[in-house]
Amino acid sequence: MEKDRYTRTEIYEMLWVEPTTKVAQLLGISDVGLGKWCKAYGVPKPKLGYWAKVQHGVEVPEREPLEPWWNEHEPSFTVNAIEKAKILARANLEKSATPIWEIYKGNRFDAAVDKTFENFNVDSVSKFGRTASKQGFAVDVSPKSIGRVKRVLQTLVTELKKSGYDTFEYKRYSNPEVTGFIKDDEKYSVSLYEASTKLDKPIKKKKTWSHNGTSHDYYETIEYGSGGKLELHLSHDDLYGRRTIKDTSRASLESQLGKTLVIFGEMAVEARAAREEREKRELEQKIRTQKRLDRAWAIKVKEWKWEQLSAISQEWDQLQKIRRFIVEVQSNESIRKANEDHESWLAWAKEEVDQRDAIKMAEEGEPLPGQGEPDREGFKVAYDWVDEYDDEEGEDDD
Give the predicted TM-score (pTM) of the model: 0.70
Q: pLDDT for 270-308, tens place per residue?
A: 999 999 999 999 999 999 999 999 999 999 999 999 999
What does the alpha-carbon distance between residue 157 and residue 179 come to, in Å, rounded to a whole number?
A: 11
**Helix-strand-coil split of the chain, %, nearest 5:** 45, 20, 35
Give the pLDDT confidence score for residue 90 in this predicted structure: 83
Strand (E) or helix (H) holding 204: strand 204-211
In this structure, the answer to whether residues 338 and 201 fall within a common structural domain is: no
Give the pLDDT confidence score for residue 202 in this predicted structure: 59
User: Is there a domain that residue 41 lies in?
Assistant: yes
In this structure, the answer to whether residues 292 and 214 fall within a common structural domain is: no
In this structure, the answer to whether residues 142 and 253 fall within a common structural domain is: yes
User: Is there a domain that residue 264 lies in?
Assistant: no
User: Is there a domain that residue 245 lies in?
Assistant: yes
pLDDT confidence bin for 398, thresholds 50/70/90: very low
User: Is there a domain that residue 102 lies in?
Assistant: no
Average pLDDT over residues 226-250: 93
In this structure, the answer to whether residues 17 and 134 fall within a common structural domain is: no
What does the alpha-carbon distance between residue 222 and residue 204 come to, in Å, rounded to a whole number?
A: 5
In this structure, the answer to whether residues 178 and 145 fall within a common structural domain is: yes
In this structure, the answer to whether residues 55 and 125 fall within a common structural domain is: no
In this structure, the answer to whether residues 191 and 67 fall within a common structural domain is: no
Indicate the range of 98-107, 191-200, 211-220 predicted with least confidence. Answer: 211-220
Number of separate domains in the chain: 3
Beta carbons of 182 and 166 less than 8 angstroms apart: yes
Domain boundary among 79, 98, 120: 79
State which amino acid sits at residue 270: E
Full domain range(s) for residue 151: 111-257
User: Is there a domain that residue 90 lies in?
Assistant: no
In this structure, the answer to whether residues 283 and 187 fall within a common structural domain is: no
Reply yes or no on whether the pLDDT at 393 is more than 70. Answer: no
In this structure, the answer to whether residues 234 and 133 fall within a common structural domain is: yes
Give the pLDDT confidence score for residue 373 in this predicted structure: 85
Instruction: Give the rounded percent of residues in the chain with a pLDDT score beyond 70.
Output: 91
Give the pLDDT confidence score for residue 217 in this predicted structure: 74
User: Is there a domain that residue 52 lies in?
Assistant: yes
pLDDT confidence bin for 34, thresholds 50/70/90: very high
Q: What angle do CA 299, 304, 305 make, to 5 degrees?
A: 100
In this structure, the answer to whether residues 134 and 198 fall within a common structural domain is: yes
Indicate the range of 41-50, 54-63, 224-233, 252-261 predicted with least confidence. Answer: 224-233
Indicate the range of 172-186, 207-221, 239-253, 287-301 predicted with least confidence. Answer: 207-221
Indicate the range of 113-122, 166-175, 290-299, 379-388 predicted with least confidence. Answer: 379-388
Reply yes or no on whether the pLDDT at 32 is more than 90. Answer: yes
Reply yes or no on whether the pLDDT at 388 is more than 60. Answer: no
User: Is there a domain that residue 86 lies in?
Assistant: no
